[in-house]
Amino acid sequence: MTSAADRIFCAVDTTELDAAQALCRQLAGLVGGVKLGLEFFVAHGPAGVRAVIGEDGPPLFLDLKLHDIPNTVAGGVRAALPLKPAFMTIHTSGGPAMMRAAVEAAAQAGVQRPKILGVTVLTSMDDGDLESVGQRTPVAEQVVRLATVAKASGLDGVICSPNEVAAIRRACGPDFVLMVPGIRPAWAAKGDQKRVMTPAEALAAGADHLVIGRPITGEADPAAAARRIVEEIDG
């Protein structure tokens, strides 16, 4: 059975290579993997990722949220394969052809291929934000629509707010991977996330993996914070 710790990916959102390396050392064995995103990747590229993860480091969630024409997104996925990410992200709003191209590119890695996850609606957005860009569909409906298209296009799962986990699980079934940011323990500040839930609540709703950043990385003792989150889940 997968432990609570194994289901957590720590979001290492920094441009400081030394800080990222130190954080990964502190969290070794306490979380299931590390998420490195656009901020870090633009600053340090593939070499920086290798410096943080190492040869036998934790599973990598490479969160670049690729969004371009199908050929370009496929090329981006292929370029990342040597890093052996466990998960990669693309935007579902790029459409079915783009999503299929990403899946086909990932398949070139064979059994070690990354799972391709689709970004639905960013967790910093609410109904008002969607309406401001011309999408008058409520967030919950838009998320389920995009998740359904993602599944039909061959994606392994989606990134979604904890508030949409149950609806996506009903629409897409038990084997569709749900990677969930917007996780805030009861004792942590919400920050800029508008659609949040505690770790235990998100897992109970049907999340497969939790992305947790500032409640761990913003604490004076990240290792202690990670242990506290696991205890909260298990409690």
Q: Label residue 235 exposed, middle or buried (CB < 10 Å: 0-12, 13-18, 19+).
A: exposed
* pLDDT tens string 156-188: 999 988 888 999 999 999 999 999 988 888 766
Distance CA 173, CA 158 (A): 12
Is 203:233 a contact under the CB 8 Å cutoff?
Answer: yes
In sequence order, which residues have a C-beta less than 8 Å from that of residue 212 and are 6 or more positions away?
Answer: 8, 9, 10, 11, 31, 183, 199, 229
Residue with tokens 């466990």: 86
In sequence order, which residues have a C-beta less than 8 Å from that of residue 128 and are 6 or more positions away?
Answer: none
Q: What is the pLDDT of residue 1?
A: 57
Q: What is the pLDDT of residue 55?
A: 82
Which residues in the chain show pLDDT less than 50? none
Q: What is the pLDDT of residue 234?
A: 86
Which residue among 35, 65, 151, 194 is the active-site one? 65
| 3-state secondary structure (DSSP) of residue 115 | strand
Question: Is 65 annotated as catalytic?
Answer: yes
The residues facing 37 across adjacent strands are: 63
In sequence order, which residues have a C-beta less than 8 Å from that of residue 134 and are 6 or more positions away?
Answer: none
The pTM of this model reads 0.91
Q: Which domains does the chain have, with CATH numbers?
A: 5-234 (3.20.20.70)
